[in-house]
Amino acid sequence: MKRITIPFIGLVRVLFSYAQTEQKGIVSTMNRSTPPQRLVRSSIWLLVCLVLVSSCQDHRPLNPQVLSADVAHAWMQMHIRLTLSTTGYNSVVSDRSFGYAGITMYEAVLPGIEGSTSLLAQIGGSSLTPSQSADQYYWPESLNAAMASITKQLFESTSAANLKSIDSLETVYKNQFQAATNPDKLMNAETYGRQVANAIFEWSKTDGAHQANKNVTDPTYTPPVGPGLWVPTPTAAPILPRWGNNRTFIANSAVSSQPGPPIAYSEDPGSAFYAMVNEVYTTSQSLTKTDTTTARFWADTPGNLNVPAHATNILTQLLVATNQDLFKAAAAYARHGIALSDAAVSTFKTKYTYNLLRPFTYIRNVLKKTTWSPLLPTPPHPEYSAAHAVVSAASGAVLEKLFGASYTFTDNSYASSYGVRSYTTFQEYVQEAGRSRLVGGIHYGPSISAGLSQGTKVGNMVNQLTIK
């Protein structure tokens, strides 16, 4: 670590003040006795550590192409925290926002990557061309400005305290970068980053999900009625019934990844359908402590990160552990975000095509276990396919592309509440995440298997993109 100077001490004071403000502003919206407090605090201090470590690094390396990725990680941690504290940012809406955030990161630094190809041009958007040569921009600031802009636009309905924290983070990095480059390069980068973000946000308005967090439920939607069809829970309206019609980043990825129909509905005790549901019930009657912990570890419930936030947090840990530079990190966040978003569209197309009933309904009405309840709350959308399996498998396919199929890693997302979990392969992570839904009592085994195959197809399509 390089010698700490007086300006660095000043930065430390700013960051500690910023962290304390963040903790008061975000935690005040949550139950202070529950895990969200620990999650928010840990993510705040992770952000602080990322910035502090980067402040000890030389942002003028001998090779100008080697730039620290800390600014990219800090913005993704900000994005994760905003999905925790912004109304309407459930897993599905957040899948979309991580997609646009990743694309923005990559396009903001793209001209600085030798031999790169615009991602926007590959997925139907319009790429931008900087007005000057690449050496006239300081690319970390381009990403910083772009992420500040796209984040404020995607989360424009968040709290005033959260919006202020976005501005604060941008300012911390901009001030830090002033010592790393000249004012002209800094200004060029800031201008270009904002142009990229604004263009991507305008494009996002045309995908069918603009401001979706404000319209998570659709009062005009009437679910079909009949044997084997999904029965909405009395306390929760159906969410996002038309999400499967949204534009995907990979053309036709949702259509081409569809898994086909589920097992035919039957109430015959000798049928495959009956056996499928009975597996959920019998599993629920013999849960071990490990089963319960696993189900809750992967659960998208209050106190946890939502599904794409958890997956993205795993990616951040891997990028930090392998010391990826700014360009590699931006490319990874882009690829991963696209996979999350397209996987969500794909699974919701399946869900509202087949409208399969949940285990809760069948177990109570057909198996006559009238007091049975699942370990996890039943989500307010149809059962098939299992969304967590689809999204996790898409994430896993991309992570395999980035780090290799046999990469061993640990997930520290909930170290203080559920402990550290270790995996010898990404498929082990994906399989565990999928099966957690059966253990939790909210999905059938075949729906999970179909979802894993569906998500892998999406991830493999994303892996075909040319992203350096």
Residue 382: what pLDDT?
97
Burial class of residue 104 in the structure, from the number of CB atoms within 10 Å of its CB (0-12 exposed, 13-18 middle, 19+ buried): buried
Question: What is the rounded average pLDDT of the residues 349-366?
Answer: 97
Secondary structure element (H or E) that encloses residue 204, with its range: helix 183-204
Q: How far apart are CA 222 and CA 208, in angstroms?
A: 20
Please say if the pLDDT value at position 101 is more than 50.
Answer: yes
Residue 218: what pLDDT?
84
Assign 124 a pLDDT band (cuts: 50, 70, 90). confident
Question: What is the rounded average pLDDT of the residues 397-417?
Answer: 94
CB 180 within 8 A of CB 23: no
CB 48 within 8 A of CB 15: yes
Residue 276: what pLDDT?
98
Instruction: Look at the block and give the residue holding tokens 């390396």.
Output: 61
Kindly write down the DSSP assignment for every residue of 323-382, as one continuous string.
Answer: T--HHHHHHHHHHHHHHHHHHHHHHHHHHHHH-BPPHHHHHHHTS--TT---SSPPPSS-
Residue 268: what pLDDT?
98
Q: Which tokens in the block code for residue 399?
A: 């992570």
Residue 220: what pLDDT?
84
Question: What is the rounded average pLDDT of the residues 437-465?
Answer: 97
Predicted structure pTM score:
0.87
What is the chain's length?
Answer: 468
Q: Cα-atom radius of gyration of the chain, to the nearest Å?
A: 22
CB 85 within 8 A of CB 27: no
Q: Which tokens in the block code for residue 37?
A: 């407090």
Give per-residue burial for 371-398: e unless 16+ CB within 10 Å, then b: ebebbbbbbbbbbbbbbbbbbbbbbbbb
What percent of the chain has pLDDT above 90? 74
Domain 220-462 has CATH 1.10.606.20: yes
- Interhelix angle 70-85/139-154, nearest 10 degrees: 10
Q: How far apart are CA 434 and CA 41, in angstroms?
A: 28
Going from N- to C-terminal start, the domains of the chain cover 6-204, 220-462
Q: How far apart are CA 187 and CA 183, in angstroms?
A: 6
Q: How far apart are CA 342 and CA 455, in angstroms?
A: 9
Q: How far apart are CA 85 and CA 419, in angstroms?
A: 23
Residue 188: what pLDDT?
96
CB 210 within 8 A of CB 216: no
Question: What is the rounded average pLDDT of the residues 307-322?
Answer: 96
Count CB-CB contacts under 10 A for residue 24: 10
Window from 77-86, 125-134, 184-193, 275-284 with minimum mean pLDDT = 125-134
Task: 218-222: list long-range contacts, CB under 8 Å, 24+ apart.
Answer: 218/242
Average pLDDT across the chain, whole number: 87
CB 445 within 8 A of CB 281: no
* Sequence-ordered list of residues with C-beta below 8 angstroms from that of 212, at least 6 positions apart, any chain: 88, 92, 93, 96, 240, 243
Question: What is the rounded average pLDDT of the residues 360-372?
Answer: 97
What percent of the chain has pLDDT above 70? 86
Residue 235: what pLDDT?
73
Main-chain dihedrals φ then ψ at residue 322, nearest 5 degrees: -95, 5
Residue 105: what pLDDT?
97
Higher pLDDT, 54 or 156: 156
Please say if the pLDDT value at position 33 is more than 50.
Answer: no
Assign 397 a pLDDT band (cuts: 50, 70, 90). very high
Residue 51: what pLDDT?
42
CB 29 within 8 A of CB 83: no
In tens, the pLDDT along 152-206 reads 999 999 999 999 999 999 999 999 999 999 999 999 999 999 999 999 999 999 9
* Sequence-ordered list of residues with C-beta below 8 angstroms from that of 348, at least 6 positions apart, any chain: 92, 240, 243, 244, 381, 387
Residue 16: what pLDDT?
34
Beta bridge partners of 421: 411
Window from 12-26, 126-140, 231-245, 383-397 with minimum mean pLDDT = 12-26
Q: Which tokens in the block code for residue 195?
A: 């142009």
Main-chain dihedrals φ then ψ at residue 158, nearest 5 degrees: -75, 175
Residue 76: what pLDDT?
97
- From 1.20.120, 1.10.287, 1.20.144, 3.40.50, which CATH number describes the 6-204 domain? 1.20.144
Higher pLDDT, 189 or 19: 189
In tens, the pLDDT along 328-345 reads 999 999 999 999 999 999
Residue 71: what pLDDT?
96
